[in-house]
Structure 1
Amino acid sequence: MSYFYLAIAIVAEVIATSALKSAEGFTRLGPSAIVVAGYGVAFFCLSLTLRTLPVGIAYAIWSGVGIVLVAAIAWVLHGQKLDLPALIGLGLIIAGVLVVNLMSKSVAH
């Protein structure tokens, strides 16, 4: 269940972070509500994840996957440009998350 809660936390955080631009400094009610609700769900589910996964590992996965997904959404929805160094960096983040999950003995499988 830990990875299920972690997946929900990641999706909620990505939705909330992606809505930040549309919230325009919390001056627009709808996107602002999405931001607050999304972060609330994200932190609640992350706290459930921490019942069984170490905090450093859970946070590394949560933030790493979140960074890559937010960058992809910003590219698609907001036209953010991703040059070669940015793509390489995002690839390294993905590689790091995979190494932590597949090879580290710190992760309870």
Structure 2
Amino acid sequence: MQNAQFIHYVFMLLAILLEVAANIFIKYSDGFRRRGMGALGIASILLSFTALSQAVKGIDLSIAYAIWGGTGIFLTTIAGWALFKQHLSRRGWIGIALIVTGMSLLKLA
């Protein structure tokens, strides 16, 4: 991978991590009753979209959006389990497996 291409994937990783952080902050905001956490959530999602906009300068939009959304869903699920003791049913895990499969197929296309 070239340096120019590498930086776009760095922006993609940053966008994903900021999206997950936004979801966690919004959960901790308790329906925006805790305004500081809510503000961090909003700021994180705005920064995530900013990083995503930089990533799509070097990654096809359809691939970037699928990777961003799918990986964000997977990591948010893991964070929900680790931080909030939330659990998915078998159907939920099958859905995540389908998302990961779809992302992989898009990347290979």
Sort the TM-score into its range (normalised by shorter chain): 0.7 to 0.9
- Paired residue for 2:14, among 1, 4, 8? 8
- Does the Cα contact within 8 Å between 2:63 and 2:103 map onto a contact in 1? no
Aligned residue pairs, count: 103
Q: Which has the larger displacement, 11-20 or 23-32?
A: 23-32
Root-mean-square deviation over aligned CA pairs: 1.3
Task: Map 1:4-83 to 2 at 5 A.
Answer: 4-83=10-89
List gaps (5 residues or longer) in structure 2: 1-6
SS of residue paired to 2:87: coil
**TM-score after normalising by structure 1:** 0.85
**TM-score after normalising by structure 2:** 0.85
List gaps (5 residues or longer) in structure 1: 105-109
